[in-house]
Structure 1
Amino acid sequence: MDMNRILFFIITAQFFSTSVWFASSAILPELANNFSNPKNLISSIPTATQFGFILGTLVFSIFAIVDRFSPSRVFFFSAFLASIFNLTLIIQEQDFLFLIAGRFMVGFFLAGVYPVGMKIASDHFSDSLGKSLGYLVGALVLGTALPHCIKFVQNELSYQYLVYATSLLALIGGFIILLFVPDGIHRKKLHVFEIQSFLASFESKKFRSAAWGYFGHMWELYTFWTFVPLFLESYFTLHKIHSSYTLLSLFSFLVISIGSLGCVFAGSISNRLGIKFTANLFLAISGFCCFLFPIFYFNANFVLFIGFLLFWGFAVVADSPMFSTSVAHSSPEDKRGSSLTIINCIGFAITILSIKFFSFSLEYYDLGYVVLILSIGPIIGLLYQFKNSQFKIISKSR
């Protein structure tokens, strides 16, 4: 079996299938025009997707679905259903509850795509998992940013075409896994199902350490991604720079998608620096960027500000595959899928708190200072690493 070919198929499928995740965020301005209270829609749609993902990962974890059944088949059916529910964005785009329910179901079935994709990779690449997950999470980042790119390219076309395109890509991604990626040679099926088995990994100190680092990372990451367009729009307004939806889409795509290079870079250097050190290094860098933001936001020229956001976008997600690798390595092999899924469940629950707290703070304080809230996650994550003596200058990767 050609492992490079397998990795290519997993990466491509992940990239295609996760494109439905932020499809709604890319067209929010157009959707908002259909409602009298657009602010309610703008905050509710991303939150509905996150809630769906949280409930989905909780269900997948409790019932150990990915550990009991073929991960490739779980991925296919999840991608297929996510692509179908993504179409609710254009079926009744003037029905608020219908849109919210549709995005909730997209999030629910993405629980069978993102963490399951990592499980598939861990079953094939146990010895080089850090590097493999670097590519895989990089694909997730590109998939997340893809709707902004499609919107930029198809600026003159109706936003419905973006929805059709992302649903088609998700469907293709599911078929790629089903047809070309068999279950991995390192897969160990869970034969005895116990409803509390997904909590077994938390008994490990190494698992808890990786989990806390991941939770701190998640507090920052998705709030950053969600508000990148607002960062840009507010900067343009503050410095009286003319902009358009097209320009915002282009720069949003660049700032988010450059994180894929950060993931690949982190995966590449982790073999030399160690998984834990690499994860904590990028967590510290992205946390430091939170404190630098006010300086660049208020004082920097356009080129420096965009350069800073690109650097932050590069670093903010680079620690994600490293923490996921640590979680996978410290989990029981027959419960690895459920462990990855429950960590995603808790992590995305944290993102909702972060996004809501950030949005609430914007009503009272200037954006330039509200961004400092994002530093809370990296600080807590790093403090936990220091507390458990996990932050070492150089540590051997497993």
Structure 2
Amino acid sequence: MPPGKPVTLLLIVVAQVLALALWFSGTAAGPPMAREGALPAGFLAWLTSAVQAGFVIGTLGSATLALPDRLDPRRLIAAASLVGAAANALILVLPLGHTGVLAARAATGAALACVYPPGMKLAAGWADRNDTGLLVGLLVGGVTLGSAGPHLANALGGVDWRLTVAAASGAAIVAAVLILAVRLGPRHAPAPPFRISQALGLLTDRGTRLATLGYLGHMWELYAMWAWIGPYLSASFAAWHGTPDTGVGAGAAYATFAVIAAGALGCVGAGVIADRVGRTRVTIWAMGISGACCLLAGPAFGAHPALVVTLGLVWGVTVVADSAQFSASVAELAPPGLAGTLLTAQTSLGFALTLATIQAMPWLVGHLGWGGGAFAVLAIGPAFGCVAMARLRASPMAARLAGGRG
């Protein structure tokens, strides 16, 4: 192991989680905002969607300009963290429910486009043939814990949303300082001369194209599940007890936190296994199980809460376990010096897709109902992803994954 590798990786993970607190702060601040005063119709939904839309726009621009490979990723992450901290802090001086709040959230998302993918590139720069999946899995696992955090905050209640927003901006400033202390890894490759077509290599190369198609199948399911598992659990608990569903109460919020947070264990565990048995195998296994959970969610609706939560925990572990392995696959298949650009392009496509599935869920719930198969539609993504990764496994490119394990 290269000198300083554990400390460097710890700094990368901590800095990423602290910077991405900017993303999660909006989710945590939304319900307290609504309790404080009347908000425009759809404001809370857009509070979440705005940061994702900004992230998609930011990643498209970053990938097109190949910023993660042309610039020092440490300085890029530090600068983006500071910009995101400033954009997030604007919420504190704007009137409650003002459209400028949504613009600030979109700007925050655009800044984070230069934090998350370059962070994966930094981690991959320290990887060797036996631990790429684990290192990226640690990073995604930290992000998964951050995604679960707002649900715990909402369950506990009583936290002023202004404190949440200010703390997130402060955390991002700390992240900017920490990331500058990181050293570049031995596998960090300099970028080739810039060409605007470089990002298109993600889709023109068969190996990275299949890995990205697998990732898109995974993303079709992931964020829609994360966004709507709370309302599902709340409605299911109410149906079991025979009481009206009045929204996500403390019990459902705690359960939602546990379901999403369990994914952090899945990310790390899948990374360890994938480095030993192959990335394509692990992604197919994870998508197969999570796709089955999509189909079982309808029949399980209204059952005993212990059964529903158990299903949710299995789903929570597997729905994100494979996420890092798609990124690790692209990092291993990318031409030298272009891993950051291709990872950014992959992430951009995936998050663009999540906007469609998150917004489609209310319509599906309204027409199909939780017990009628609203979540079952999400199984389309894992099924598609399994086919893509099976084709990658059968191709010669698989020999470049996980030290030849596929």
Shorter-chain TM-score category? over 0.9
CA shift for structure 1 position 212: 0.6
TM-aligned CA distance change 1:54 to 1:215, over 3 Å: same
Q: Is residue 77 of structure 1 aligned with residue 82 of structure 2?
A: no
Match of 2:42 in 1: 40
Label 1:129 to 1:387 Cα distance change in 2 as closer, same or farther (>3 A).
Answer: closer
CA distance in 2, matches of 1:332, 1:211: 15
Q: Deviations over 1:203-224 (max 9, x none)?
A: 3211111111100000100111
- Counting matched residue pairs gives 394
Equivalent position SS for 1:367 = coil
* Kept after mapping to 2: 8 A contact 1:49/1:106: yes
**Which structure 1 residue ranges, 5 or more long, are not aligned?**
none
1:384 matched to which residue of 2? 388
Asked whether the equivalents of residues 31 and 93 of structure 1 are also in contact (C-alpha less than 8 Å), the reply is: no
Once the 2 structures are TM-superposed, how far is the Cα of residue 388 of structure 1 from its aligned partner? 5.1
Is the contact made by 2:56 and 2:349 (CA closer than 8 Å) also made in structure 1?
yes
Tell me if 1:255 matches 2:255: no
SS of corresponding position for 1:196 = helix
CA distance change for structure 1 residues 391 and 260 in 2, over 3 Å: closer, same or farther?
farther
**Counterpart residue identity of residue 86, structure 2:** I
1:310 alignment partner, one of 301, 310, 313? 313
Q: 1:389 to 1:183 in 2, by over 3 A?
A: closer
- The aligned residue for residue 31 of structure 1 is 33
- Residue 221 (structure 1) aligned with residue 226 (structure 2): no
Identify the residue that residue 327 of structure 1 maps to in structure 2. 330
Shift of 1:112: 1.1
Where does residue 173 of structure 1 map in the other structure?
Answer: 175
Q: In the alignment, what sits opposite 1:137? A: 140
Instruction: Kindly indicate whether the alpha-carbon contact (under 8 Å) linking 1:34 and 1:93 is maintained by their aligned counterparts in 2.
Output: no
Q: How does 1:1-398 map to 2 (within 5 A)?
A: 1-33=3-35, 38-127=40-129, 128-153=131-156, 155-178=157-180, 180-240=181-241, 245-298=249-302, 300-368=303-371, 369-387=373-391, 390=394, 397-398=402-403
Distance 1:248 1:31 in 2: 20
Distance in 2 of aligned mates of 1:254 and 1:25: 16
What is the aligned-residue RMSD (CA, Å)?
2.2
Unaligned segments of structure 2, at least 5 residues:
none
Q: In the superposition, relative to structure 1, how do residues 372 and 344 fare at CA in structure 2: closer, same or farther (>3 Å)?
A: same
Contact 1:280 1:391 in 2 (8 A): no
Normalization by structure 1: what TM-score? 0.92
Contact 1:151 1:159 (C-alpha < 8 Å) held by counterparts: no
- Contact 2:117/2:340 (CA < 8 Å) preserved in 1? yes
Would the alpha carbon gap of residues 364 and 93 (structure 1) be closer, same or farther in structure 2, given more than 3 Å must change?
farther
Q: 1:39 to 1:22 in 2, by over 3 A?
A: farther
Distance in 2 (alpha carbons) for counterparts of 1:244 and 1:146: 15
After superposition, the Cα gap between the structure-2 partners of 1:54 and 1:157, relative to the gap in structure 1 and judged at 3 Å, is: closer
Identity %: 30
State the 1:191 CA deviation.
4.4
Aligned-partner Cα distance in 2 for 1:187–1:84: 30
The alpha-carbon deviation at position 387 of structure 1 amounts to: 4.6
Tell me which moved more, 140-149 or 255-264: 140-149
Stretch moving more, 217-226 or 80-89: 80-89
Cα displacement string for residues 78-136 of structure 1 (whole angstroms, at most 9, x for unaligned residues):
12222222223432242431111011011111111111110111112143211111111
TM-superposition CA deviations, 1:279-308 (whole Å, max 9, x none): 11101111111011112213x211111121
Q: Secondary structure at the match of 2:102?
A: helix
1:390/1:319 CA distance change after superposition, 3 Å:
farther
State the one-letter code of the partner of 1:397: A
| CA shift digits 1:247-299 (9 cap, x unpaired) | 3432222111110000000011112211111111101111111011112213x
CA contact (8 A) 1:24 1:89 kept: no
- Measured in 2, the distance between the counterparts of 1:386 and 1:135 equals 25
Sort the Cα spacing of 1:38 and 1:234 in 2 relative to 1 into closer, same or farther, 3 A.
farther
